[in-house]
Structure 1
């Protein structure tokens, strides 16, 4: 290779460089594609492991929780939790202990349950039945009775190896007389949890951010408070992956899953070392493949360069000998000689061709702008060898339907128009047209020549050409165009008016849709009509606005489609339709302002009006209004309404629970909360799936049963407290629900409650 000439290296080096670049790009792409695939696979596995862990743990905990709930609501439990127990009541103790052991079997292994009766002053645990000492009673009261909720998960720092589930009874009374304490050993949770690698341990955090469990005790730091807060309180999905950036430390991914049962958060770290380990075989394979491909590239480049350099050596024999210092190498010498010959030839051709085509284009522009008289036109037709005889002429005006949903930008429009201009020139025969011309940034126009007088034949030929042009443009650029055809005319001096007719016909795309061929003759009667009567479906608009205000997305979509359908059906004139659409937009913007929403600004700092006015078809306008205005408004209003409804429902519920024994109605509550009665009724029914009166009646019914069992109030006193007009109404209502009278219910269930004694 040392004795090869310069032109050999000029061929050899590009071969090597191109081959090397291809090899780098190929292997680089393969590496990054594989890397992303591996990362996605590892991440998905970690996420599935977290979800599996959550489901496994919560299946046990929920089963145990629901079993305990059923137990504490059982009538026998309500009886003996209030009574003292001693060794004399061995049968009762044995029954309770058996039930506790049975319920503990629903939890993880080694789960134990302690039952404390504060009123009866006893505790049943793994050590048997014991009477509460003063210190033990104070310890239980201080630790458990101060809890805010009747059912609570606790993690005691003094005993980190045990997780407690505490249930205070009775559930619906402020005075508690019993405590159920479920002790779950952390070791039993470990047996339930999917075995993870040491590099990605599982963490379980409570709803308030307390670390409940971690699978790898070697990990000391756990999760940062900011990360946990973003998972618990942020607008994140129930399950997902987030990236954690640590200043001064290695960044990592975090797989998490939020529990819908108790608000716990299950998380697992995904360190970069796991990705690196998974990618190690791929990296080694990529390096070896790169070395092999580079070697093959160099060999092929050498052989190819030697082969292609032989013609150059022969070509040099035909080039005049010159001094060596005038050119750097043989390529420059050969290229310079050839370029001199080609440049001289092309220069002459370019001057002649360009001047002729530019003059033709200028002539057509003057025609379309009405700047020429009959004499000037005849002279130009003769100079450019255009046909000088015809029966009728038509102007075909072409415009894009839309560029919004394609890869093209508005900056590409001029180039696309000139491309379409060339397509029209290629498709329509020379003897049937004058030179196609781009009129402005939106329109291309062509004068079509008809040599016969059969108008039906004219329409057939124009339609065939128009469909072929539309098909070609769609195949090449994936764009749709529409074509407006003027009325037939005979003199070229009428071109200006004919072009105006073609553009006017294109306005009918609002009614007939995109990719249309519209003859002005077929729509001129509508344009020239003196009876302009704009139709606007105000009732449908009001219904649409009501659906938007209520956040009803589906109904809003249907009403929007109905509104546009009515507009297009009943406004026959495009000008009428445009006025109605602008009226609707004005009302829509007014609604946005009333609801405190900012007016939408489209890309390139255009307003809604500008954007709509640029749209040519009804489908485009409807999709724009639906996706850019209606849906965002419905989503924003829906979020606002859900939050407001929940707050109002909670207020109503609090009033019922606190004032159920007073004269209470939805009208009274509406007056106190300053809302409309019907509005509160719809909110309450939506939140609780039953009416206000049904909920109040059932709550009073529950309180009646409670008083019948726990107090000595008479049936009349209970009916009066629960706002019944007379006791007979209360008795009939009670019998209808329970199947027996209040008195018989009290006698029957009081006997059941104390029968164990």
Structure 2
């Protein structure tokens, strides 16, 4: 042999495999069993390790949580939050400070504790007492009140300015803070209790060997709470690939899976805390996990390679004798095909050589036939397109029609136009519209026999099929067309599960009339606006009158515009539905429907301009009129008016009305707070603001949820309590300031609302100030 052929190599390889397969199988099985046992042992150790870390960390967190809960549930804390923490309450401050110090123990790692009173406007932490304003509380601590739970562990990035402002020591860039809203059992929160643990203090529970294993704890947003590489604390891992696996397995509280990070395989061991939802993770390279199995694999590989080498050697010697007859036959065949024996044997299998030659000749023949057939189909489609456009002369039409072997005889012709109604409630989207048309075109070719049609084509989003009939009578023709279009519609519904409508032109006999018939069938499709989805519309059944007398329900339109101005969204949608339904309930032509809809659109645009709503707020790539003309059904038209015009207009008006209401309520409250000690009334304010009193009353109640008189009485009561505690005014003087006829009326009113007389109230709060 002048060269080594593929079959010869396969023969050697086959014999080698047969002889060495048992050894390879036994060696592989032994290696897999041993390595699997070692691997499972290491994996189990990692699960136990992550479980131990979870237990240790949660022990610290629960200890801190229980201690803080015990503190905030103490009997004196609710009263403390209401206290102003003046100088006379120094003992109370010392008691609070002492309790906060008790919360900070060495074993828990707590570095700071903070108590905030929204009512007293003060903060107590390790650095002492700080008096703050309501605005400062909202700016510096307002985000805590927006937390979804009354008690919650969160990861915080240390705010340098905030820590300097309140004297908070800076132990770490990130803190793990337990935030509890106070009081715990009341919906109205007027305080906060915050315990902070530096994230680095939790890192001591993790292994420091970052070369072999990565350990971390993530919060619910997949931010790193702590890490055995503390430089990564605070990083967000939400976009990491292995996090996607955790999200998919969110029903599992713990487990393991394999992922790829930087082209390396890692085993991820995770456990989700039932206490606070934190995620405890261990990432370790599979190469490290499998390191102990390497010696077993090397030994098994050495044995297998040795046996394989011996088998190949023996196979090579025996195969030379077996291959001799095949080599002689191959040389004979290559000589017949005038191929180089040496080159052929070096590049191709011996038996494939014969198969390739025969297959090559058959493939070239099929390819030539396919190209010819594809070109004929394209030429047919071009012919039908030009026929429907009326671009063929009679001589050219006759010549090409016969060349494409279409039926030569017919009694009648018609054009069938099919269009998709809507894709809204189907499994498809608008991007697949053209693909669906191609599928429908194929279905039309299958449903309508070849001898009864010309080539179906697609034009401007419509599937067109010229239909050929040889029925003698008009009734037989009509029955045949009705049967074929119903079968076509049902087949599309069955296969593609989409609704379609079909328009059929009147019958004609000359091919030159195809252009007019095509336009009539497409025009018939427009009557879906009247007949609805999945209609079959024959052009002959549509009236051909030229008089256009439009109909428009002016009274319903006026009612619609009135509720739009009032911003009554639910009524707007119902009246719009009534208006559209009323228009299409009339027996009109498509042009008449279009004129009515254009009138409605134009009137809505005028209304927007009158109300000062900019048209640019509702812009699109296409004009409103173009969008309207593209709609195919009554439901689409109603939904388009609602989505594009009505809802944005009502929303804009609602925002304007709400802003006006808010401004009026603020003015009323300001007048009450400035003139509460005068004879202020809703009527006097209405006269000053130039509004009707009843209108102001409804606006004020809507914005504040209480009446004007209730708010005025409540504000005066609060000012009376303030004067009783902070001033030396007599009860009689206070009653006169609030225009009571006598002090007894004031005393009865005060006792009814507070449960005690003004004198008792003053005496009680004076004693508290002395204490």
Output the TM-score relative to the length of structure 1: 0.56
Q: Residue 659 of structure 1: which of 672, 675, 680 is its match? A: 675
Distance in structure 1 (CA, Å) of the matches to 2:680 and 2:564? 35
**2:348 counterpart residue number:** 329
Distance in structure 2 (CA, Å) of the matches to 1:314 and 1:504? 76
**1:343 counterpart residue number:** 364
Q: SS in structure 2 opposite 1:664?
A: coil
**1:68 counterpart residue number:** 78
**1:447 counterpart residue number:** 467
**1:530 counterpart residue number:** 548
Q: SS in structure 1 opposite 2:548?
A: coil
Which stretches in structure 2 are left out of the alignment for 5+ residues?
15-46, 97-115, 135-150, 156-171, 182-190, 204-218, 239-274, 302-307, 309-325
**1:151 counterpart residue number:** 120
Q: Residue 395 of structure 1: which of 415, 424, 449 is its match? A: 415
Distance in structure 2 (CA, Å) of the matches to 1:247 and 1:640? 51
**1:214 counterpart residue number:** 197
Q: CA deviation at 1:578?
A: 3.1
- How many residue pairs get aligned? The number is 572
Q: How does 1:31-180 map to 2 (within 5 A)?
A: 68=78, 150-152=119-121, 154-158=123-127
**2:177 counterpart residue number:** 203
Distance in structure 1 (CA, Å) of the matches to 2:91 and 2:369? 116
Q: SS in structure 1 opposite 2:201?
A: coil
Q: CA deviation at 1:488?
A: 4.1
Contact 1:394 1:489 in 2 (8 A): yes
- Are 2:480 and 1:470 aligned? no
What is the Cα-based RMSD across aligned positions, in Å?
6.5
**1:686 counterpart residue number:** 702
**1:620 counterpart residue number:** 636
Contact 2:665 2:700 in 1 (8 A): yes
**1:274 counterpart residue number:** 281
Q: How does 1:342-381 map to 2 (within 5 A)?
A: 342-344=363-365, 346-347=367-368, 351=372, 353=373, 357=377, 360-361=380-381, 363-370=383-390
1:641-672 Cα offsets, whole Å, 9 max, x none, are: 76775565445334323322224345655677
Q: CA deviation at 1:427?
A: 0.2
- Are 2:503 and 1:484 aligned? yes
Contact 2:224 2:232 in 1 (8 A): no
Q: How does 1:672-683 map to 2 (within 5 A)?
A: 681-683=697-699
**1:436 counterpart residue number:** 456
Which stretches in structure 1 are left out of the alignment for 5+ residues?
13-37, 74-113, 128-146, 172-191, 221-238, 256-266, 300-311
Q: CA deviation at 1:568?
A: 3.7
1:426-465 Cα offsets, whole Å, 9 max, x none, are: 102344434333344544233253625464x666654543
Distance in structure 2 (CA, Å) of the matches to 1:119 and 1:248? 47
Q: How does 1:515-554 map to 2 (within 5 A)?
A: 515-524=534-543, 528-535=546-553, 537-543=556-562, 545-546=564-565, 550=567
Please say which of residues 245-254 and 426-435 is displaced more in the overlay: 245-254
| Shift in CA distance, 389/5, structure 1 to aligned 2, threshold 3 Å | closer
Distance in structure 1 (CA, Å) of the matches to 2:368 and 2:447? 29
- Are 2:597 and 1:577 aligned? no
Q: CA deviation at 1:424?
A: 0.9
**2:517 counterpart residue number:** 498
Distance in structure 1 (CA, Å) of the matches to 2:441 and 2:496? 13
- Are 2:211 and 1:241 aligned? no
Q: SS in structure 1 opposite 2:565?
A: helix
Q: SS in structure 1 opposite 2:196?
A: strand
Contact 1:435 1:447 in 2 (8 A): no
Contact 2:384 2:455 in 1 (8 A): yes
Distance in structure 2 (CA, Å) of the matches to 1:8 and 1:540? 88
| Shift in CA distance, 315/630, structure 1 to aligned 2, threshold 3 Å | farther
Contact 2:584 2:593 in 1 (8 A): yes
Distance in structure 1 (CA, Å) of the matches to 2:230 and 2:629? 51
**2:608 counterpart residue number:** 591
Q: SS in structure 1 opposite 2:469?
A: strand
Q: CA deviation at 1:397?
A: 0.8
Output the TM-score relative to the length of structure 2: 0.55
Q: SS in structure 2 opposite 1:274?
A: strand
Contact 1:434 1:448 in 2 (8 A): yes
**2:142 counterpart residue number:** none
Contact 2:679 2:739 in 1 (8 A): yes
Distance in structure 2 (CA, Å) of the matches to 1:563 and 1:523? 25
Distance in structure 2 (CA, Å) of the matches to 1:396 and 1:645? 60
Distance in structure 1 (CA, Å) of the matches to 2:497 and 2:61? 45
Distance in structure 2 (CA, Å) of the matches to 1:607 and 1:403? 22
Q: SS in structure 1 opposite 2:360?
A: helix
Q: How does 1:599-610 map to 2 (within 5 A)?
A: 599-602=617-620, 605-610=621-626
Q: CA deviation at 1:482?
A: 2.0
| Shift in CA distance, 750/532, structure 1 to aligned 2, threshold 3 Å | closer
Distance in structure 2 (CA, Å) of the matches to 1:281 and 1:636? 62
Q: Residue 252 of structure 1: which of 225, 235, 244 is its match? A: 235
| Shift in CA distance, 249/240, structure 1 to aligned 2, threshold 3 Å | closer
Contact 1:200 1:269 in 2 (8 A): no
Contact 1:437 1:444 in 2 (8 A): yes
Q: SS in structure 2 opposite 1:690?
A: coil
